[in-house]
Amino acid sequence: MAGGIKLFRILGIQISLDYTWFIVFVLFAWSLAYGYFPFHSPGLGAGMYLLMGTISSLLLFVCVLIHELSHSYTANRLGLSIQEITLFIFGGVANLTKEPDDAIVELKIALAGPLASGALAIGFWLIRALIDAELYPVPYAIAGFLVTINIVLLVFNMIPGFPLDGGRVLRAIWWYSTGDINRATRVASQIGKGFAIFLIVTGFLQILVGNFTGGLWSVLIGVFLQQAAEGSYRQLIIKRTLEGIRVRDVMTKNVVTIDGSLSLSRAVEDYFFNYHFVSFPVVDNGRVVGMLSLNNVRSIERDRWQSTLVRDVMEGLTTENVLSPEDTVIDALTRMSSMGVGRFPVVEGGRLVGILSRRDIMKVMEFRTELQGWA
Ligand SMILES: [Zn+2]
């Protein structure tokens, strides 16, 4: 998942916005202002429609937030820790540090969001019933939109394709009745992908027959869903395969180190050419002080390799680029991906005890995947 913009914290949960949110927000406000509201409450000015579109899109954001918080609040109460939710315009992705290991827990978490959307739809329906449509056409129209959009959120999320809530419900029921979570996940995400393709195809057909806006939305949501189904399935596999494994269990213990006082030309000749690793821990007086990577070497002109010392161009150690043997492999992999680094030194009490590479993690994954029949 790409990062987003951190907004605020509610109930101990960090709320972030995905970057795509802004684009879709503008598109959505625009299509409300030029399509939905002029059709449903004619006779108002263009400026008023724009205002209604903007306010309604913001309120949609609040409704989506309440939907997502219901999932997260339930999850936290059932013992799964959720620290961050990233919101897209029609939904969010909660960062589960751990997958539920009980089908009933999964079912309760999955149903909490749609229940909240249902309650919101009823709430706005009651509010609308109290508003005089003749006197207050604008609040009346906005309340009506919120009834519709919450029903849409409810119905859309209950489509039985993973990672939508309905897909999670299907997965939980399948899992509960067969005990096979792997197969349950695979089936649910295949249905999710199938539905995404259906949306994309019907979207293009709609565009062909002239319904441009409706078709475009269908394609956009289909693409989003397709990526979500693909991505969350892969993530789930990675999480479940690597769950509980610590850096200590998979790191390479015999580490080739470079002395900080060597020249770069010696480092290249004796280490990079010899061992074919992309980086080496650097040791000074028996203590690990940094990492020397091919990129560090490349940043120096070749005719200066003779006169440059390893310790002068290496990457110094920070809390970010060092692992402890007790760190989880999932955490290490997340850091590797976000920092674009392939190898981390493993240090305990200032002493180098091993090195962990992406390749080490992939090997473990492959091995476990074969044993568990994931692939
Ligand atoms: Zn949901």
Neighbours of ion ligand 1 (CB under 5 A): 113, 157, 165
Q: Percentages helix, strand, coil for the chain, rounded to the nearest 5?
A: 60, 15, 25
Reported pTM: 0.67
Looking from the CA of 62 toward its CB, the CA atoms found within 13 Å total: 9
d(C-alpha 131, C-alpha 146), whole Å: 14
Q: How high is the pLDDT of residue 375?
A: 43
CA of 328 to the centre of ligand 1 (A): 28
Predicted confidence (pLDDT) per residue in 116-171, tens digit: 999 999 999 999 899 887 788 888 888 999 999 999 889 888 888 877 888 889 88
Residue 303's contacts (CB-CB under 8 Å, 6 or more residues apart) are none
CA of 311 to the centre of ligand 1 (A): 51
* Residue 113, helix vs strand vs coil: helix
Nearest to 343 by CA among 367, 363, 327, 323: 323
CATH for 247-372, options being 3.40.50.11540, 3.30.413.10, 3.10.580.10, 3.20.20.10: 3.10.580.10
DSSP state of 327: S
CA of 239 to the centre of ligand 1 (A): 20
How far CA 305 is from CA of 261, 269, 319, in Å, comes to 13, 11, 29
CA of 7 to the centre of ligand 1 (A): 20
Instruction: Read off the tokens for 112.
Output: 């909490």
Q: How high is the pLDDT of residue 98?
A: 62
DSSP state of 79: T
d(C-alpha 233, C-alpha 239), whole Å: 10
Q: How high is the pLDDT of residue 127?
A: 93
How far CA 179 is from CA of 60, 104, 184, 329, 352, in Å, comes to 38, 12, 9, 26, 43
Instruction: Read off the tokens for 233.
Output: 């399935």
Q: How high is the pLDDT of residue 200?
A: 93
CA of 302 to the centre of ligand 1 (A): 56
Provide the phi-psi class of 327: left if phi over 0, else alpha when psi is between -120 and 50, else beta: beta
Q: How high is the pLDDT of residue 97?
A: 57
Compute mean pLDDT per 10 residues along the chain, 375 residues long, and list them. 72 82 85 84 83 90 90 86 74 65 86 94 93 82 91 88 84 88 83 90 92 84 83 76 85 88 89 87 86 88 88 85 87 79 85 87 79 55
Map out the domains of the chain as residue ranges.
Answer: 4-242, 247-372
DSSP assignment string, 158-220: TSSSTTSHHHHHHHHHHHHHH--HHHHHHHHHHHHHHHHHHHHHHHHHHHHTT-HHHHHHHHH
Q: How high is the pLDDT of residue 3?
A: 59
Helix (H) or strand (E) holding 101: none
Predicted confidence (pLDDT) per residue in 185-237, tens digit: 888 888 888 988 999 999 999 999 988 878 888 898 888 888 878 877 777 77
Residue 137's contacts (CB-CB under 8 Å, 6 or more residues apart) are 41, 44
DSSP assignment string, 275-326: H--SEEEEEETTEEEEEEEHHHHHTS-GGGTTT-BHHHHSEEP-SSS-B-TT
